[in-house]
Chain A
Amino acid sequence: MNEHWQAIWLTLKLAGTTTALLLLIATPLAWWLARSRHWLSQPIAAIVAMPLVLPPTVLGFYLLLLLGPDGPIGALTKSLGLGYLPFTFGGLVLASVVYSLPFAVQPLQNAFNAVPERMLEVAATLRASPWDRFISVALPLARPGFLTAAVLAFAHTVGEFGVVLMIGGNIPGETRVLSVAIYDQVETLQYANAHWLSAGLVGFSFVVLLSLYLINGRANSSAVRP
Chain B
Amino acid sequence: MSEQGVRAQLQSQRGEFSLAVTLDLPARGITVLFGPSGCGKTTLLRCLAGLQAATGELHVHGERWQSSGHQLAVHQRPLAYVFQEASLFPHLSVHHNLMYGYRRTPEEQRRVQPAQAIQWLGLDHLLERKPQQLSGGERQRVAIARALLTSPRLLLMDEPLSALDQTSKREILPYLQKLHDELAIPVVYVTHSVDEMARLADYLVLMEHGRVVAQGTLTQVLARLDLNLSRDEDSGVIIPAWIREHDTRWQLSRAEFEGGSLWVRSPADTPVSSQIRLRVLARDVSIALAHHPDQSIQNLLPATIDELAGDPDSGMTMVRLQLAQTPLLARLTSRAVDRLGLLPGQSVWVQIKAVAIVE
The answer on a CB contact under 8 Å between B104 and A125 is no
Residues of B near any A CB (own CB < 8 A): 49, 51, 73-75, 79-81, 83, 85, 87-91, 100-101, 104-105, 130-132, 146-147, 150
Stretch at the interface among A18-26, A115-123, A150-158, A173-181: A115-123
Within 8 A of B (CB), among A83-121: 116, 118-119, 121
Cβ contacts under 8 Å, B51 to chain A: 121, 124-125
The answer on a CB contact under 8 Å between A127 and B85 is no
User: What would 7 more interface pairs be, CB under 8 Å, given A118-B85, A125-B147, A127-B105?
Assistant: A119-B89, A122-B81, A125-B75, A126-B75, A132-B75, A141-B90, A224-B130
Residues of A near any B CB (own CB < 8 A): 116, 118-119, 121-130, 132-133, 136-137, 140-141, 143, 224-226
A128–B104 CA distance with the chains assembled, in angstroms: 7
Contact of A126 with B101 at beta-carbon distance under 8 Å, contacts A118-B85, A121-B51, A224-B132 already known? yes
A-B contact pairs, 8 of them (CB 8 A): A118-B83, A121-B74, A125-B147, A126-B101, A127-B150, A132-B75, A136-B100, A137-B89
Shortest distance between the CB of A74 and any CB in chain B (Å): 45
Residue of A nearest to B149 (CB): A126
A163–B124 CA distance with the chains assembled, in angstroms: 59
Cβ contacts under 8 Å, A225 to chain B: 90, 132
Q: By CB atoms of chain B within 10 A, which of A118, A127, A133, A137 has the most?
A: A127
Cβ contacts under 8 Å, B104 to chain A: 126-128, 132
Shortest distance between the CB of A84 and any CB in chain B (Å): 46
A116–B147 CA distance with the chains assembled, in angstroms: 19
Cβ contacts under 8 Å, B73 to chain A: 124, 129
A213–B203 CA distance with the chains assembled, in angstroms: 56
Cβ contacts under 8 Å, A122 to chain B: 81, 83, 87, 89
A166–B246 CA distance with the chains assembled, in angstroms: 95
The answer on a CB contact under 8 Å between B90 and A224 is yes
Shortest distance between the CB of B1 and any CB in chain A (Å): 25
Cβ contacts under 8 Å, A132 to chain B: 75, 104
